[in-house]
Amino acid sequence: MPKRGYHHGNLRQALVDAALRLIEEKGPTGFTLSEASKTAGVTPAAVYRHFEGREELIAEAARQGYEIFADLLEFAYSDKPSALAAFEATGRAYLAFARRYPGHYVAMFESGVSIQRTPELNAVATRALGVLEKAATDLSEHIPPEKRPPPQMFSAHIWAMSHGVVELFARGSPGTRSPFPPEDLLESGIGIYLRGLGLIDPDA
């Protein structure tokens, strides 16, 4: 792969893109910085001008993933006719993100890199997860205060359900084929949860 053009500032992103490809192929711990540099078409020494090590490289991939994730969630949440529609849209956006950006998804949620690693990563992760909490807060206003779960718990339940559907059925893992589309599994699971809270009519 030709190396020309990296002196214009493209090398850092080229390394992130290389890491994302390797993460998809081998997982977040299945490659070395030397492999990342080779995939990007540069010498191993060049990597250290931008990243101290593999974890920092993965953290940058995660940060970029959270940027995309936050934008998708905010778009899904906005301009919906009801709090329920907005809430359900964020769940579908979670699934869509995991499918469209598998390398980012793994870097964010399966690499072991803490969102506290850098202020920038923490800020964008907080923005993304804040959309889920806002959706839960708006929807839970329809629940009597004495029966209302904390918004953080509410959103964590939906996050866990979405993550479980992604992990088991939306990423093509061997031996986990479902007779139902992942979208249907998530929608029905959210429906059962919301009925239990009294937010959806039992006959709906």
The CATH number of the domain where 169 resides is what?
A: 1.10.357.10
120 and 140, same domain (yes or no) = yes
Residue entry with tokens 């990597």:
47
Q: Is the pLDDT of residue 19 over 90?
A: yes
> Is residue 22 within 8 Å of 107, Cβ to Cβ?
no
140 and 112, same domain (yes or no) = yes
pLDDT of residue 126: 94
Q: Is the pLDDT of residue 203 over 80?
A: no
* Residue at 17 is within a domain: yes
Q: How many structural domains compose the chain?
A: 2
pLDDT of residue 6: 46
Give the rounded distance of the alpha carbon of 20 from its chain centre. Answer: 14
* Domain ranges, residue 157: 55-196
94 and 189, same domain (yes or no) = yes
Burial 65-89 (b: 16+ CB within 10 A, else e): bbbbbbbbbbebbeeeeebbebbbb
Between the alpha carbon of residue 129 and those of residues 6, 26, 74, 96, the distances in Å are: 34, 27, 10, 16
74 and 152, same domain (yes or no) = yes
Comparing 83 with 55, the larger pLDDT belongs to 55
Per-residue H/E/C for 24-90: HHHCCCCCCHHHHHHHHCCCHHHHCCCCCCHHHHHHHHHHHHHHHHHHHHHHHHCCCCCHHHHHHHH
Give pLDDT tens digits for 118-172: 999 999 999 998 988 888 888 888 788 888 888 888 888 888 888 888 887 766 5
pLDDT of residue 107: 94
Give pLDDT tens digits for 56-114: 999 999 999 999 999 999 999 887 878 888 888 888 898 899 989 999 999 999 888 88
CA 131, CA 74: separation in Å to the nearest integer?
6
Residue entry with tokens 């939306």:
170
Q: Is the pLDDT of residue 27 over 80?
A: yes
Helix axis angle, 182-196 to 151-165, nearest 10°: 150
111 and 92, same domain (yes or no) = yes
